[in-house]
Amino acid sequence: MELNDFMGSKSGSTYDRLETPKTRNAKNPGGDTAGGRCSRLTAVCLGLLCVLLLTAIIVLWVKFNHLATQSDYLQRSVHNLTVEKEGLEASHKNSVGEIRANKNKVTAEKDKLQTSYNNLIKEKDQLQTRYNILAEERDQLQANKSTVTTEKDQLQTSYNNLIKEKDQLQTRYNILAEERDQLQANMSTVTTEKDQLQTIYHNLVKEKDQLQTRYNILAIERDQLQANKSTVTTEKDQLQTVYNNLSKEKDQLQTRYNILAEERNQLQTSNINLTREVDWLRNNNKNLTREKDQLQTNNNNLIIEKEKLQTRYNNMTLERDTLRSNFNNLNNLNKQLQTTCKSKVVDIHVQLGWRSFGSSIYYLSDEEKTWSDSRHYCQDRGADLIIINSKEKQDFAVKTVGGKRAWIGLTDRHTENVWKWVDGSALTTGYWLPGEPNNAGEEDCAEVMGVVMKEGWNDIPCTNKNRWICEKSITDN
Ligand code: MMA
Ligand code: CA
């Protein structure tokens, strides 16, 4: 080593200088004078000083060697780190920036270490210079121990600084080692990502080539289209003008078409309705034609029948007139006969004891019968018991019965105190005697009394036997 050689050579020269007094003492062993003792004392002191200086130099030399060893170790570490950094740089092309930054850091650290090394070299030179100075001062033997001590302190301070710098370098080395481990750990991830990106890159390159090919084709087509565009633009302007005119005409035609369409729809609707009506009318016409033919046939038959009936009607009219004339003649004859007949009936009844009054004839019996038997008698002769419904008939009855009494056609035997005539009509005006009818012992049939001062009606039991007055209308037959 350069340092050892240096120290070796320096040690040699020092021994040479230190051996000089010994050599001088050895050449004068018998000088036991005061000056000799003083010289021996000085020599001893100088020897002790030389021993001290030698010891200090040896210690410094050992420590310096130790520092040099550490410097070598750090140098090798820097070298190894540089190698590893370069390996990482080769592995991580994609993370070149980071690695480069790390490399710069490592380089900076290396530069710092180099600087430290240079400083150490300079300090070594300084130490060498100082050593030379000390050697010169040692030669002067009056060199100041304080100066040496001060320099020793400075060396000690430098040593401490070097220790501190060594610790800092060690710490930085540890940090760099951790960063290296992290970078190694990131390497696999980055490698995987790099492979994926590489695959994507290849795909993108293929797509880019395809797109480039398509782009070239499109560019050619674009140029052709560009050339066509001007022609088409001109034609488009012309067509636009024509289109505008056609649009106006189309709008007018559309309006007319809409109106015509509405009219057409209305006409279609009307046509459908009319077609239905026509069909319906045709069917009706057929039916009506049939009916008309039938009616025509019927009409002809009816005309024939009408003519026949007209003939018959005329004949019957003649017959009717004849019959009406005959009827009138017969009716007149009948009236004459009835008048004659009634007159003869009245005559016959008068001959039989009947009396004529108004439009009826009346018969007062000489016998006496119950009310019912009396009525049967009248009915057997086409008459009934007398109905007295006027003051004239009441007076006629009183006059007819004379000073006697007779049944009249009045009874309440169906409902007590409800008096009815034999023709079913109700009693409206009665000519009862005072206090009558009193129904003295179930008296349901009426009699007329013609006794003076006792001319009127009385009720008596129907089972009593009494005369009776029959009444028979002449106008009934
Ligand atoms: C009295 C009087 C009549 C009654 C007859 C019966 C003479 O008249 O009471 O009302 O009908 O008697 O005989
Ligand atoms: Ca009575």
Q: For residue 405, give the CATH number of its domain.
A: 3.10.100.10
- Which residues fall inside 5 Å of ion ligand 2, going by CB? 438, 443, 458-459
Q: How far apart are CA 376 and CA 470, in angstroms?
A: 10
pLDDT of residue 190: 62
Ligand with smallest separation from the Cα of 464: 1
> How many domains does the chain divide into?
2
Most confident of 78-82, 151-155, 187-191, 379-383: 379-383
pLDDT of residue 21: 42
User: Does residue 32 fall inside a structural domain?
Assistant: yes
155 lines ligand 1 (CB under 6 A): no
Ligand with smallest separation from the Cα of 445: 2
Contact 473, 387 (CB under 8 A): no
Q: Work out which ligand 1 atom sits closest to the CA atom of 436.
A: 10
pLDDT per residue over 86-134, tens digit each? 765 676 566 556 646 766 776 787 778 677 767 767 877 886 877 676 5
Distances in whole angstroms, Cα of residue 117 to Cα of each of 70, 165, 351, 385: 11, 11, 206, 189
User: Does residue 347 fall inside a structural domain?
Assistant: no
- What's the 441 CA to ligand 1 centre distance in angstroms? 10
pTM above 0.75, yes or no: no
Burial of residue 461 (CB within 10 Å: 0-12, 13-18, 19+) is middle
**DSSP code at position 425:** P
At residue 369 the predicted structure's pLDDT band, cuts being 50, 70 and 90, is very high
* 203 closest CA partner among 215, 193, 211: 211
Q: Work out which ligand 1 atom sits closest to the CA atom of 433.
A: 10
Q: Which residues pair with 457 in a beta bridge?
A: 432, 448
- What's the 397 CA to ligand 2 centre distance in angstroms? 18
458 lines ligand 1 (CB under 6 A): yes
Of 175, 207, 239, at which residue does a domain stop? 207
Judged against a pLDDT cut of 70, whether residue 34 lies above it is answered with: no
Of 187, 207, 227, at which residue does a domain stop? 207
User: Does residue 380 fall inside a structural domain?
Assistant: yes
Q: Return the residue whose CA atom lies nearest to atom 9 of ligand 1.
A: 440
User: Does residue 64 fall inside a structural domain?
Assistant: yes
Contact 125, 220 (CB under 8 A): no
At residue 15 the predicted structure's pLDDT band, cuts being 50, 70 and 90, is very low
Q: Return the residue whose CA atom lies nearest to atom 13 of ligand 1.
A: 460
Instruction: Determine the residue of 433, 457, 460 to mutate for testing ligand 1's pocket, defined as the one with the most ligand atoms within 8 A of the Cβ atom.
Output: 460
> Averaged over 345-356, what is the pLDDT?
93
Judged against a pLDDT cut of 70, whether residue 3 lies above it is answered with: no
Q: Return the residue whose CA atom lies nearest to atom 7 of ligand 1.
A: 458
Of 180, 207, 234, at which residue does a domain stop? 207
- What's the 130 CA to ligand 2 centre distance in angstroms? 203
Q: How far from chain centre, in Å, is Cα 446?
A: 102
Residues in the chain: 477
Contact 130, 193 (CB under 8 A): no
- What's the 413 CA to ligand 2 centre distance in angstroms? 14
- What's the 440 CA to ligand 1 centre distance in angstroms? 7
Instruction: Determine the residue of 458, 462, 463, 465 to mutate for testing ligand 1's pocket, defined as the one with the most ligand atoms within 8 A of the Cβ atom.
Output: 458
Q: How far apart are CA 393 and CA 469, in angstroms?
A: 12
Q: Return the residue whose CA atom lies nearest to atom 1 of ligand 1.
A: 440
- What's the 459 CA to ligand 2 centre distance in angstroms? 4
For 457, the domain range is: 352-473
User: Does residue 300 fall inside a structural domain?
Assistant: no
pLDDT per residue over 228-277, tens digit each? 777 767 887 886 887 788 788 888 878 887 877 888 888 788 878 877 88
Q: Work out which ligand 1 atom sits closest to the CA atom of 443.
A: 11
- What's the 456 CA to ligand 1 centre distance in angstroms? 13
* 470 closest CA partner among 400, 389, 402, 399: 400
* 121 closest CA partner among 75, 170, 167: 75
Beta-strand relationship, 467-473 and 405-411? parallel
User: Does residue 322 fall inside a structural domain?
Assistant: no
pLDDT of residue 349: 92
* 456 closest CA partner among 394, 365, 390: 394
Judged against a pLDDT cut of 60, whether residue 278 lies above it is answered with: yes
Quick one: which H or E segment has residue 408? strand 405-411
Burial of residue 115 (CB within 10 Å: 0-12, 13-18, 19+) is exposed
Ligand with smallest separation from the Cα of 432: 2
Q: Work out which ligand 1 atom sits closest to the CA atom of 435.
A: 10
Q: Work out which ligand 1 atom sits closest to the CA atom of 459.
A: 11
Beta-strand relationship, 384-385 and 467-473? antiparallel
- What's the 451 CA to ligand 1 centre distance in angstroms? 14
Identify the residue with better confidence: 342 or 351: 351
- What's the 473 CA to ligand 2 centre distance in angstroms? 29
- What's the 314 CA to ligand 1 centre distance in angstroms? 74
- What's the 356 CA to ligand 2 centre distance in angstroms? 30
Q: Work out which ligand 1 atom sits closest to the CA atom of 438.
A: 10
What type of residue sits at position 336? Q
Contact 471, 419 (CB under 8 A): no
438 lines ligand 1 (CB under 6 A): yes
User: Does residue 12 fall inside a structural domain?
Assistant: yes
pLDDT of residue 427: 98
User: Does residue 89 fall inside a structural domain?
Assistant: yes
